[in-house]
Chain A
Amino acid sequence: MQLTYTDKQNAFRAELREWLKANLPTKPLASYDTREGFEEHRAWERKLYDSRWSMVMWPEHLGGRGCDLIEWLIFEEEYYAANAPMRVNQNGQLLLGPTLIEFGTEEQKQHFLPRIASSEDMWAQAWSEPNAGSDMAAIRSKAIRDGDHYVVSGQKTWSTRASFADWTFGLFRSDPDSQRHHGLSYLMVPLDSPGVTIRPIKALNGKDAFAEIFFDEVRVPVAHRLGAEGQGWNVAMATAGFERGLLLRSPARFQQTAKRLIELYKANPQVAERDPGLRDAVIESWMGAQAYAQSAYHTVGLVQKGAKIGAESSINKIIWSELDLKMHETAMRILGARGELRSTAPEAVANGSWLEGFLFAQAGPIYAGTNEIQRNIIAERMLGLPKA
């Protein structure tokens, strides 16, 4: 055990800190759940990419820096400490990207990866369907082979920011006689293809945060299939765990929220006096975020020694989503009557950002696999309990 950073790691941190200081947007970007904000975030991603900060773990020829996981943790720490904009293309960068790297053809990799890194292409997911949510293997959307194309028909839903994205990736049933997780293929589909209709779904915040995607005999080139035909489930699952658990929501994000929460608490001593229990809620938030960070360093250390991360990712997902909820609930408790005020309210605290975070935190235990499903995974795969 050796808990100091190397000179190289410290230099990396310093370089990034300097760059962020010099390049951060001078005013907060609009919400990326709006068209305007989406494009502002795309422009920010481009700026990151131009200085090779968008995908630091990717190799240099893809616009990255070939960073290891420790450097990735450092990147996240500095990024969130600087209150830099939310990452708008995580679907492409964290979910599709690694899958392409593992299963893509040379041609696919060369075409798509740089465009993902630069956010020239923005990606939406197409997994869930009206009758395939937690039970994803119940997917019914079809992809019928017709020469060098698939003809795709069906309906996908809960596709985050699909109203604004350029492409979608997901699973489609390419073998009409197949059942469950067999006979699925992983396809990448341009959202401006003839036959694609997108119907926005308003989220709790009143914005078009996600959408339904309807496919009506959409012709998708076979060249846009990732991995072998009928192997889509395995392709999708191969990279799901680690990304979902750790990369998607790094500890730094929650450490920064905990820090802001402590500042909010200290700025409101009169509330603290009326509600003495708040102190413990505040310090528990810090302890939760700190534990997640320590756990991430421990996990990364094990991965670097060759360990495989399995069901542990499910624990991460539960921990960060419940922590996020708890922290925002505590913030609302401190804000009291000011908590309900929207960003447009003259008396809103911190531009209503706690309320915005509180609303989004409600989704945490649901998206990326509900926490109930994660608990099943922990019970069955880590503890070896029998399936129902």
Chain B
Amino acid sequence: MDFTFTEDQLAFREAISRFLMTEAPPELLRDIWDTEEGRSPELRAKISEQGLTALSVPEAQGGLGMGDITWALLTQELGYYAIPDSLADTAFVATGLLSALPEGTRMREELLSRIAEGSVRIAVGHSVNPLVADVHLADVVLQEHQGEVHALCRDNIGFERNPSIDSSRRLSRISFEPSDATRLVGSEQGRAVWAQTLNRGALAVAGQSLGLAQRMLDLSVDYVTQRKQFGKPIGSFQAVKHKLADVASKIEFAKPVLYHAAHALAHGDAQANLNVSHAKLACCEAAWLAARNGIQVHGAMGYTWEVDLQMFMKRAWALDSAWGDRAFHNSRVAETLLADTAQIGPSFTFGALQND
């Protein structure tokens, strides 16, 4: 029993954090917001060069074969630096989906190799998300259709853009004609793959939300330490302190929930749906509280376009319903817990565990 990360995992996270801190400052995010495509080819090139797209590609296709547990740390960094959707969607969610397809499935190896070298952008369409992120730039859309997995190329699809309050999020309504030519696997194999992909998508959002929460907390701590009223930093007042202490508490208690969910997904636990939904709810709740209390302690500045807080706040608000809204995840939790077969109580923290 060791519910902690290895030194290597932590060092890796640290390295990614340092890279993103340098390469994705808030000014760059503001520039990206203003572009037509909503993406920076320069940032993308650096990310590929750094090998970030190859992280979870299997070693056979030139990647590092990194799993969900390490991603639970990395997605927090993607959130902290508000990296737009395409990276997590391609390098984590789509890669997981492709890897889960049977070896030899058409396009599987080719796409995985191209993800590893950073030469392909993949969007993922699932019925839980009414709109699909980054369709306008995607080379391939992996699309769910009645449990089947379809690979759609640009000339198979039509799309209509739906701008989001988070300008780094580029959503589209997609239309397509499924056919034998686009189908990678049928529903028999596809349903399990999609169930896992949905959980992975939710986990990617959970991790990013937690990172966003931490960023908003850090920005708020900086602000209340500098801003003075009544001759003192406002951060010395209890009413302000307690709001931020509440955010810190929510973040700290969401982390282990995220980590357990990642472990459950990686190991195909029977209760993975429960753990992932719990993580999604806990992390998004932390992010919303960080936004609410963050804007409050920023005072009127928090309501402006000018202060960086807004970019992280809007992303947190937007991601809350991505890969399953609250109703979806609450219902999944309730279904499991209220079932007569539910394994709950003090000796089931990690589900029904086997001996070593």
Smallest CB gap from A385: residue in B:
B235
Query: Contact partner of B346 among A81, A265, A386, CB < 8 A?
Result: A81
A178 interface residue (CB < 8 Å to B)? no
Inter-chain CA distance A301–B69, complex, in Å, is 16
Question: Could you tell me the distance between the alpha carbons of A290 and B176 in the complex, rounded to whole angstroms?
Answer: 42
A5 touches B334 (CB 8 A): no
Q: How extensive is the interface on chain A, given as a class? A: 35 or more
Q: Is the CB of A315 within 8 A of B1?
A: no
Instruction: Judge whether A379 and B245 touch: CB under 8 Å.
Output: yes
Q: Specify the main secondary structure of chain B where it touches its partner.
A: helix
B20 at the interface (CB under 8 A from A): no
Interface string of B242-278 (1 = CB under 8 A from A): 1011101100111111011001000000000000001
Residues on A with C-beta less than 8 A from B257 are 287, 290-291, 294
Q: Which residues of B contact A305 (CB under 8 A)?
A: 4
With known contacts A255-B349, A315-B252, A283–B244 Cβ distance under 8 A: no
Are A295 and B354 touching (Cβ within 8 A)?
Answer: no
Q: B338 near A: Cβ within 8 Å?
A: yes
State the Cβ distance, A169 to closest chain B Cβ, in Å: 30
Whether B259 lies near A384 (C-beta < 8 A) is: no
- Asked whether A202 is an interface residue with its Cβ less than 8 Å from the other chain, the reply is no
Residues of B close to A5: CB separation below 8 A: 1, 353, 355-356
> Which interface residue of A265, A279, A379, A380 has the most chain B CB atoms within 10 A?
A379
0/1 string, A360-383, CB within 8 A of B gives 1:
000000000000101110111011
Q: Does B238 contact A (CB under 8 A)?
A: yes
Q: How far is the CA of A179 from the CA of B214 in the complex (A)?
A: 39
| Distance, CA A149 to CA B79, complexed state (A) | 62
Known: A259-B346, A388-B237. 12 other contacts (CB 8 A): A1-B4, A5-B356, A6-B1, A13-B347, A256-B346, A262-B342, A291-B256, A291-B282, A294-B349, A298-B256, A319-B249, A386-B232
Instruction: List residues of B whose CB falls within 8 A of some A CB.
Output: 1-6, 69, 217, 221, 224-225, 232-233, 235-238, 240-242, 244-246, 248-249, 252-257, 259-260, 263, 278, 281-282, 330, 333-334, 337-338, 342, 344-347, 349-350, 353-356
Give chain A's interface residues, CB within 8 Å of chain B.
1-7, 9-10, 13, 70, 74, 76-78, 80-81, 251-252, 255-256, 258-259, 262, 265-266, 279-280, 282-283, 286-287, 290-295, 297-298, 300-302, 304-305, 312, 315, 318-319, 372, 374-376, 378-380, 382-388
Pairs A-B, 10 closest by C-beta atoms = A379-B241, A294-B256, A252-B346, A301-B4, A77-B346, A378-B245, A375-B245, A385-B235, A259-B345, A298-B256
